[in-house]
Amino acid sequence: QKEVEQDPGPLSVPEGAIVSLNCTYSNSAFQYFMWYRQYSRKGPELLMYTYSSGNKEDGRFTAQVDKSSKYISLFIRDSQPSDSATYLCAMSAQGAQKLVFGQGTRLTINP
Amino acid sequence: DADVTQTPRNRITKTGKRIMLECSQTKGHDRMYWYRQDPGLGLRLIYYSFDVKDINKGEISDGYSVSRQAQAKFSLSLESAIPNQTALYFCATSDPTGGAYNEQFFGPGTRLTVL
């Protein structure tokens, strides 16, 4: 079993829809939770990060962490075609030297 | 100019050939990483280095070797390439003083095809 599981999709939704992307994990030591966005033919870029449990909002994006369920989510409101990309969750433990990535979900927003 | 650069961007080679992928960074970060990305498997860590004298194996280091020539340069070698090493390869850097969450900055990737 992988430490981090993410549905690879692909996921296709109409413009303006609310998108929910999710990851589950098995390592209870994970404290830092990140979402990276990767456009086609580019490297991943950090989109949001959250420490421990709770929510974090940045514009149209909201990251949620539920440590009791070992489940994290990224919500995109009013989705735009420019949001079309692969979204990767990533996690690390306190003091960890490495990130553990999910498989990535390929998202397409249709105009 | 990009902070993390990778050369070449694309490479097609034959089974058994030795291949070197190069990564350079201008961010001044001590930590550098090599990942490979395969469809459905996400990013998997090959090797990482926390300074010029520090080299560590990642989860899939077999068949690969690395060299940290300077703080700014980290090369990945495939001594004898095989077809299942066909993948997208990414170099990344991070600064441990920049935040406990260890944000990593990625290069644009090298698409390697082994025939």
Mean pLDDT value across chain B: 93
Residue B98 is predicted with a pLDDT of: 60
Residues present in chain B in total: 115
Greatest alpha-carbon span in chain B:
42
DSSP string covering B73-110, please? Answer: EEEEEESS--GGG-EEEEEEEE-TTS-TT--EEE---E
Q: In this structure, what token pair is assigned to residue A49?
A: 């990060």
- Answer yes or no: is pLDDT of B102 > 80: no
User: Are A75 and B78 contacting, i.e. CB atoms less than 8 angstroms apart?
Assistant: no
Could you say which residues from 23 to 62 on chain B have a Cβ atom under 8 Å away from some Cβ of chain A?
39-45, 48, 50, 56, 58
Q: Hey, is the C-beta of A30 within 8 angstroms of any chain B C-beta?
A: no
Measuring CA to CA, how many Å separate B55 from each of A99, B31, B33? 16, 10, 10
pLDDT digits (tens, 9 = 90+) for B14-59: 999 999 999 999 999 999 999 999 988 889 999 999 999 999 999 9
Nearest Cα to Cα of residue B2 among B106, B112, B76, B110: B106
Q: Hey, is the C-beta of A21 within 8 angstroms of any chain B C-beta?
A: no
Q: Hey, is the C-beta of B114 within 8 angstroms of any chain A C-beta?
A: no
Min Cα distance B45 → chain A (Å) is 9
d(CA A31, CA A51): 6
pLDDT digits (tens, 9 = 90+) for A33-77: 999 999 998 999 999 999 888 899 999 999 999 999 999 999 999
Across the range B86-106, mean pLDDT stands at 85
Q: Hey, is the C-beta of A46 within 8 angstroms of any chain B C-beta?
A: yes
d(CA B104, CA A100): 12
User: Are B88 and B9 contacting, i.e. CB atoms less than 8 angstroms apart?
Assistant: no
Q: Which residue on chain A is closest to B91 by alpha carbon?
A: A43
- Whether B42 sits inside 8 A of A102 (CB atoms) is yes
